[in-house]
Each structure stands twice: as C-alpha cells, then as structure tokens.
Amino acid sequence: MAKATSPVAPPIVVVGSSWGIRNTFHSLLAILTTVLVVTAISLTQEAGISLVSYNNNNKEESIEELSSNRCDFFSGKWVFDNESYPLYKEKECTFMSDQLACEKFGRRDLTYQNWRWQPHQCDLPRSLSLSLLKFNATALLERLRNKRLVFVGDSLNRGQWVSMVCLLDSSIPTTLKSITTIANGSLSIFKAKEYNATIEFYWAPLLVESNSDDPVNHRVPERTVRVKAIEKHAKYWTNADILVFNTYLWWKRPIMNVLWGSFDDAEGIYKGVEMVRVYEMALRTWSDWLEVHVNPNRTQVFFVSMSPIHERADEWGAEEGENCYGEREMIEKEGYWGNGSEPKMMRVVEKVLEDLRTRGLNVEMLNITQLSEYRKEGHPSIYRKQWDPLTQTQIANPSTYADCIHWCLPGVPDVWNELLYAYIFHL
C-alpha cells in the first residue's frame, strides 16, 4: 500500500520591509511553543505519567512523580498492533530458549506476538507516550552501565530474563556480548561488554533454600524448604542494582515440608505446614534479608506477582478436560480470573511488602496477573522442545503434554518487561 503524502503548502512571499513581519512571526512561534509545552505537561499530569528531563550528567530528573492511583499500568486491555509488535524476531534473538521458541518448534499462528498492552486512563498522545514508555534498548543499556540487573526465582522469571535479553540483543554487536553460567548452573549472566552491564538470572524457585535448588534436577516427589535459610542463594544477588524477584507456583500444594536444621543433619526437625502459612514464613525471611542488606538509595527492588496458568478450559467456557492446547484467541471477558491464581497468596505478598515499606524499603509489585489471565493463547502448548521422548498416548492426545504455564517469546513476558522498563525510568 502506498503511503499517503501530506499536501505541500504554497510558499509565502513577503514584499517590502520584513523586520516587523519576522518579529511578529517569532512572537507567534514563542506563544505556540509555550502552548504546546503547557499542553504536554497538562496531558502528562492528567495521565499520571512523569515527564523526564536530562541534566549535563545525563541523569534523569523526574518533573512529576508517576501517580499510580491515577494511571494504573496494570489495569487495561490488549490492543492488536502488528506494526509495533513483536519487538524482536524469535529467530534473530541469539540467546532464545528452546522452551519458549514456539515458532521454531512448529507454531504457525503467530498473532500471539502482535498484542500491545494499553493501560486504562493513560491515553497520552501516541508520540508523547511512546517517547516516555516505549522500550528503548540503548537507553536501558545506558542506564545499566556498570550495573547489575538480576532476576531471581523460578522458570517463569527465567522466561522474563530471556525476554529482557532478547529485547537488548539486537542493540549489541556480536563481539560485545556473552552469556556465562556459574554456581553449578544456577546463575546465568548476560554481559553487554561495552556498557560493563550484566543482566542475570539466578535459579531459586522458592527464594529460600529447598531440595529443589538444582537448576536441572529439581523434580522431587516430596518438596522440602528451609524457611529460615536464604544466605546460600542471597550471596549471588548481593550488591545488585536492580532486583526482580518472583515465587509462587512452586508453593502450590496443600502442605509443604519445612525443615528446621540442615539437609545434612540427621537431627533436623521436619513438619508439614499449610500452603499460605509456609509461603508467608519464607517471604518474611526474604524481606528480613532485604531490610538488612539492600541500600534503598542504590537498589531498585521489584516483585513479580503470580503468572497465571491455563490448564482448565472449562474456566473460560470451553470443553471440560481440555486446556490451552489449540487456543488461538485470548479471553475477552474483562476481569477474568482463573482458579489457578490464588488471591490469598497475593494478599500475603502485599502484606509483606507493606511491612517492608514501614521499615524504609520500597519494593514495587509488578502486578502482571490480571493482564496475563486473558492470554490463554500465549503459552507454548506443544510447540517447544520436548526434553523426554513422547509416549504413544501423548502423541495420540497432544493436550496431555501441552505446556500451559510458560509463555512463548516474543509474547506476554515482553510486556512485563515494558512495564518494568517504565518503572525503572519513571519512578
């Protein structure tokens, strides 16, 4: 389709003395500029978004703080946008994970890549809103110069880390980036060498110590946690400049074994503790560590809320016994909430974070649950690398091995990172 061209205005011809006309023109231009600036600031204030200016040291200075009660990034709708999305191509991301590369493993309906999250009551003019909130890889790398951004948690947080790496990847020459793995595979480090910046992921699915801490061999018949033990993990994320935590799905069982003592101690005491209670116990240990070890003047801390699963199709009105397999459209019902997401667990997180605020440390909640609930078509389903050979029963019934927990990339986690980006820059 040919692009539409704007009509060209006829030239203005001035006859005779021009000083007065130029003076009038400059006055009108000054007035127009003032009106535009005031209008932009007014629109920005009404939407609750912060404008940003730069000083000579290239440090951002917030003109007005983002008002979360007037512009809630997490309340909104998905808008189809195949011009701006995806933000990168799956095959062009050097470090894409086979667990999340749905197109590579046979998925042909790719519209799951073309959705933009539009928050309610944040309708700035597109040119202004994009300049403030659109993901800018170079700007983020500059912000991360000589710094560490560390994601800590389970495989869903690892997916968000892969998303972040892919968002940055194309802006870095091949010879100036690398990935290394240390700590027995628990810590993966993406390095942008020109910026001396690292974007890291640390495997700690329960944040505290557990018998599921091995990044590969973590499937155990009976999960056990040491709810008071976190230093084994925390030493790897100490001194990070931005920390992004998550933990939820690994706690989803009625009773969890809690160990007082070490795994090597035959005298250790084991006790079964109810799900919500043991979750809070662990988060209290985590929050106590943060209070002691994190400098709020240096480090930004985020907690990502629970990522929804779509394993029961009857919850969105489809056939009972089915799941996300074969789904190509999102859930349109506003406010849809699946049974896999436990509000009582989220309330525990909110209570712990509120207590931390009273102690002087602000941890921002990235509340991605509701916006992700709609995206039943965004999971890998059967389109991912299968680590174990499929049985004949599975081959005959693909929904039995469909992954309805993780997310295809490009996809939903890219939006999580756009929201993280907005918080990093505008709070």
79: phi then psi, degrees, rounded to nearest 5: -120, 130
- Point out which residues pair with 243 in neighbouring strands: 150, 301
Q: Judging by beta carbons within 10 Å of its beta carbon (0-12, 13-18, 19+), is residue 134 exposed, middle or buried?
A: middle
| C-beta atoms surrounding 59 within 10 Å | 9
403 catalytic per annotation: yes
Instruction: Determine which one of 129, 406, 414, 426 is catalytic.
Output: 406
Q: How many residues does the chain have?
A: 427
127 catalytic per annotation: no
CA 1 from chain centre, in angstroms, equals 35
Residue type, 259: L
Residue type, 426: H
Would you say 283 and 348 are in contact if contact means Cβ atoms under 8 Å apart?
yes
- List Cα–Cα distances, 77 to 112, 185, 330, 420, in angstroms: 14, 38, 11, 18
Instruction: Determine which one of 154, 169, 403, 414 is catalytic.
Output: 403
How would you classify the pairing of strands 115-119 and 242-245?
Answer: unpaired
One-character DSSP codes across 189-240: EEEEGGGTEEEEEEE-TTSSEETT-SSSS---SS-EEETT--HHHHTTTTT-
- Point out which residues pair with 150 in neighbouring strands: 200, 243
Instruction: Determine which one of 155, 186, 305, 341 is catalytic.
Output: 155
Angle at alpha carbon of residue 43, lines to 39 and 49, rounded to 5°: 135
120 catalytic per annotation: no
Q: Rounded distance, CA 285 to CA 301, Å?
A: 16
Structure token pair of residue 51: 């404008």
| C-beta atoms surrounding 43 within 10 Å | 16
Q: Rounded distance, CA 106 to CA 100, Å?
A: 12
Would you say 343 and 389 are in contact if contact means Cβ atoms under 8 Å apart?
no
Cβ contacts of residue 147 below 8 Å, gap of 6+?
197, 198, 241, 242
Residue numbers annotated as active site: 155, 403, 406
